[in-house]
Amino acid sequence: MTVAQPLSAGELEEELEHGVRLTELARVLELVLRGLSARALRVEAGPETYTDTETIFLPESIDAAPERAANERLYKALAVHHWAQTRYGTFNADLDDVLEGFASRERGLAWINLLEAVRLEACLRRGYPGLARLLASLRPRLPEALVDAERELARPRASVGDSIRLARELAVMEPPAAFPYLGSLHPDRVKTVREARVAKERRALYRELAKIREGLAVEGAGEVERKPAPAVEVDASFDTLQFKLEVEGERVEPPPAVAALVRSIVQDFGAVPPEYLVAAGPGRYAPDAEPTDEPEGARAESHAEGGTLYDEWDFQRRDYRKDWCVAFESDVPRGDPAFVAGVRAQYAGQIAQLRRRFEALRGEEKLLRREHEGDDLDFDAVVEAYADRRTGMEVTERLFTLRRRAERNIAAMFMVDMSGSTMGWVNECERTALVMLCEALEALGDRYAIYGFSGWGRKRCEIYRIKRFDERYSDAVRGRIAGVQAKDYTRMGVAIRHLSKLLNEVEAKTRILFTLSDGKPDDFIDGYRGVYGIEDTRQALIEARASGVHPFCITIDEEARDYLPHMYGAASWALIDDVRKLPLKAADAYRRLTS
């Protein structure tokens, strides 16, 4: 992944007097598209304009018209048109296959592209008249020869199949000039991306429905005999993306995860295919790699010298494996001291803004009542004193109110994923995030510590010290932040247990365990993958919560929506779709968590 280097103001003006850069509009476009379709579409700069159904590639800048507004409109039209392709099913036919039947592949593709544009505009006219007006205003009038085709494609039931049929009829002619907002079609790239998503969402829906079924099955009797899993029906509308979920003939309010999945699946297929709803056994996740069973005797003690032993939860036995993991603590070796200075310089503006926002939190004033001395009379106290005097009771002297800064009394433990998968950009962003968090927290005055974690099997769970609670944000700490590196695997449960223990040793009213991670728990060695890893992590979080720690996780794993709610509970996590946003989002999440 690369990030466009921002140009200096001079360069920018010179190059684009009226032009628009994608970087200026990308966020707005992404927000609009997310609002429109309930599923995320990334907007990225690319040499060609097209969509693979998850990313829309747009030109880096547009300077086609003399006014800025017109260039912005073109960007919008490009984004909307390509979104409409994914929303109204342009890729729900295998275009690669279809094109085999054309004499000229190129011409066939050009016709399909054009006819689809006509059909999509009609779809938009029904649902989003404003967007249809935008597209219509940018294209030329259709030639006479296409009037019939246009009428046909404007029918509410028209699909990509109709466009293909018409393209076959019209392919004897050269297609008319393309509309300005028409990009290209890349059926092959779409196919790869779409197939991966389809498979992923099918698995995810399967899991979610299994959970709903399980929930219903539990209400039944003793569970000794396995009852057949209840039937699930989804009645969804392609036009509105509204749907009804019925389990055993009863209407069920779909959980948000299910709602998002169903909407996405309906956009890919027009409906939820019946085979998606076939019942699996109650409560089964999609079969993943199961943990290999080691003999119970193989405890970790013999390797534990200098380490701390922790239990691990085995979800299949519904019991702990005693003293299963060994955690070793060590300092992160110092890294390049220039790194932190570089981040501070590069993000000077954002850091200043963060500090201001965090200082505002600290500056919160609180009115203390019933004080011996203070700025004002405490009227309640006076009244009570009157009443007490009347009733012959002892009269208090605590009659004043006092304004004082509220004591926050929060201790935060930041737990940073240092697994191998964070190599490269994720690691870079994690380190940047740490610098910004430190800067912000210094302004705030909360006590905090930072530890990294990784490991290689249960006998070598590494906990890396970056900053202890009793350490200042010193050069040594800054050096260690710079030295954070991608290491091995992600055995999260033991890290949570160890760091919660450290956190609980700190005297504080509120304790927060804040995890920065790029994915789900995963340790290749001795089966800490899939369900096993997720369930152990969940158990560790439950233990942490029971001990008075508030866990929160911020992650950039696309699939996290499937398992994070299960692990952390619905309200204590945040998902970031773009790793570059991690530094700001992390600080922001912390601020919101504690205000």
Partner 1 sequence: MNDPARLKVLEAELATIAAEPYYEPVGEEIPLFEAAYSARVPVLLKGPTGCGKTRFVEHMAWRLARPLVTVSCHDDLTASDLVGRYLIVGDETVWVDGPLARAVRAGGFCYLDEIVEARKDTTVVIHPLADTRRCLPMEKRGELLRAPDEFMLILSYNPGYQSVLKELKHSTRQRFVAIEFAYPSADLEARIVVRESGLDRATAERLVKLGGMTRNLKGSGLDEGASTRLLVHAAQLMVRGVPPRTACHGAVAEALTDDREMLVALDELVGAVF
Binding site for partner 1 (CB under 8 A): 27-28, 31-32, 34-38, 40, 76, 127-131, 240, 242, 253, 367, 379-380, 382-384, 386-387, 390, 510, 512, 550, 552, 570-572, 574-575, 589, 592-595
- Burial of residue 420 (number of CB atoms within 10 Å: 0-12, 13-18, 19+): middle
Identify which of residues 38 and 138 has a Cβ nearer to partner 1 in the complex.
Answer: 38
Identify which of residues 359 and 577 has a Cβ nearer to partner 1 in the complex.
Answer: 577
Identify which of residues 218 and 382 has a Cβ nearer to partner 1 in the complex.
Answer: 382
Identify which of residues 33 and 118 has a Cβ nearer to partner 1 in the complex.
Answer: 33
**DSSP classification of residue 91:** G
CB of 441 to partner 1, least distance (A): 16
Identify which of residues 97 and 577 has a Cβ nearer to partner 1 in the complex.
Answer: 577
Q: And the tokens for 438?
A: 């430190």
Q: And the tokens for 570?
A: 């619905």
Q: How far apart are CA 477 and CA 334, in angstroms?
A: 8
Beta bridge partners of 463: 329, 453
CB of 552 to partner 1, least distance (A): 8
Q: And the tokens for 554?
A: 């911020």
Q: How far apart are CA 123 and CA 125, in angstroms?
A: 5
CB of 593 to partner 1, least distance (A): 6
- Cα dihedral 255, 258, 260, 263, rounded to 10, equals -130
**Contact at 8 Å (CB) between 314 and 307?**
no
Q: Which of these, 143, 139, 17, 142, lies nearest to 73 by C-alpha position?
A: 139
CB of 383 to partner 1, least distance (A): 5
Helix (H, G, I), strand (E, B) or coil at 478: helix
CB of 125 to partner 1, least distance (A): 12
Identify which of residues 30 and 535 has a Cβ nearer to partner 1 in the complex.
Answer: 30
Identify which of residues 138 and 525 has a Cβ nearer to partner 1 in the complex.
Answer: 138
Q: Which amino acid is at 178?
A: A
Identify which of residues 224 and 571 has a Cβ nearer to partner 1 in the complex.
Answer: 571
CB of 576 to partner 1, least distance (A): 10
**DSSP classification of residue 453:** E
CB of 447 to partner 1, least distance (A): 15
Q: Which amino acid is at 406?
A: A
Residue for token pair 């501070």: 344
- Burial of residue 190 (number of CB atoms within 10 Å: 0-12, 13-18, 19+): buried
- Burial of residue 452 (number of CB atoms within 10 Å: 0-12, 13-18, 19+): buried
CB of 47 to partner 1, least distance (A): 26
Given CA atoms 254, 535, 317, 500 in this order, what sign does their dihedral have? negative
CB of 130 to partner 1, least distance (A): 4
